[in-house]
Structure 1
C-alpha cells in the first residue's frame, strides 16, 4: 500500500497527502526559539514565557498542519488548518522535483513544483511524492513529470 494512502483520510474520492516535515527546516526554528527563551529567561515575565512558547507552538503546528488533498477534479493545498488554495487538476501541466528554498506551503526542502494555468506554480512537499505524482497522473495523464536523476 502506498505511504500517502496509509496516512490518508478518504471521504469519497478525497485522498489527503500529509507534508513531509524536514528537520533541515524544523530544527533551526526550534533552536532560534530555544536561544531566545534561554537568553530572556531571567528577565522574562510569565506573560513573556507564555508568549514565546505560544509562538514556537504556532510555528511547529504550521509545519504539521500542511497537507495536500486530491479529489477527482481539484488539488487543495492546505496550511495552518484553514488556509486553502484550490487548483483544478485539469489545469496542471507539469510537476518538477525541486529543492528550491523559497517560502511555500512545504515543510521540507524535498519538494515538487506543480505548474498550472499559463504562468502559475506552487511548491509543495508531500511525504509520499511518488504516490502523489502517480495519483495526479491517473487523474490527468497529460501531466509531464520531471524527476532528478538519483546518484548511484
Structure 2
C-alpha cells in the first residue's frame, strides 16, 4: 500500500490502517489566539493569577483539541478521533457520498476546508483531513460506489 507523507500506517493482523491527521486552519487559529490573548492581557492588568492560569488551561485544552483530531481508515471502518480518546466509527459500506464543504458548524474539523461524509439513511459528519485527495482516493478504493462532489476544478 502506497502512503504519502503525513500519514501513519498501522498493520494489525490482516487489516491495514491509515491515519489522516486533520488540517488545522489559520482561519480558526488566529481568532482563537486573538480572543485568548486579549483575555490573558486583561487578566494580567487585574493581577489575577488564578484567572491567567485558568485562561492558559482553557487555551491549552483547545489547542490539544485542534491537534488531536484524526481520521483512521481501515478496510471496514472510518474512525474519527477527537481529543485523543473520543471516537466515532462509521462503516465504510454505509458511506454514500462525500461533498466538499465550508460549513462552519461545530464538527471534528480544525479547518474550514472540509468534507461532509454522508452515511446511512440521513447521517453525516463534517471532517477536514489534511490530504483530502488521498483520503477520498483511499475511501473510493474501498468502496468505488461513493459519490464525490468537489468544487469547480478539484474533482
TM-score by length of 1: 0.94
Select the structure that is richer in strand.
Answer: 2
Name 2:28's counterpart in structure 1: 25
**Deviation, structure 1 residue 5:** 3.3
Structure 1 unaligned spans of 5+: none
Does 1:105 find its partner at 2:108? yes
Displacement after TM superposition at 1:57 (Å): 0.8
Q: Which residue number corresponds to residue 9 of structure 2?
A: 10
Q: For the aligned residues, what is the CA RMSD? A: 1.6
Displacement of 1:40: 1.7
Which residue of 2 is the match for residue 75 of structure 1? 78
SS at match of 2:23: coil
SS at match of 1:33: helix
Partner of 1:53: 56
* Structure 2 partner of 1:93: 96
Larger relative contact order (CA 8 Å, sep ≥ 6): 1
Cα offsets for 1:8-63 (capped at 9, x unmatched): 22111010000000000111111100000111212243222211111101111110
Change (3 A) 1:30 1:59: same
Instruction: Find the aligned partners of 1:5 and 1:115 in 2 and give their Cα distance.
Output: 25
| Partner SS for 1:138 | helix
Partner SS, residue 41 of structure 1: helix
Paired residues, what number?
150
Q: 2:87 — aligned with what?
A: 84
Q: Are 2:87 and 1:121 aligned?
A: no
TM-score after normalising by structure 2: 0.92
Change beyond 3 A, Cα 1:106–1:64? same
Which secondary structure state, in structure 1, belongs to the residue aligned with residue 8 of structure 2?
coil
- 1:102 match: secondary structure: coil
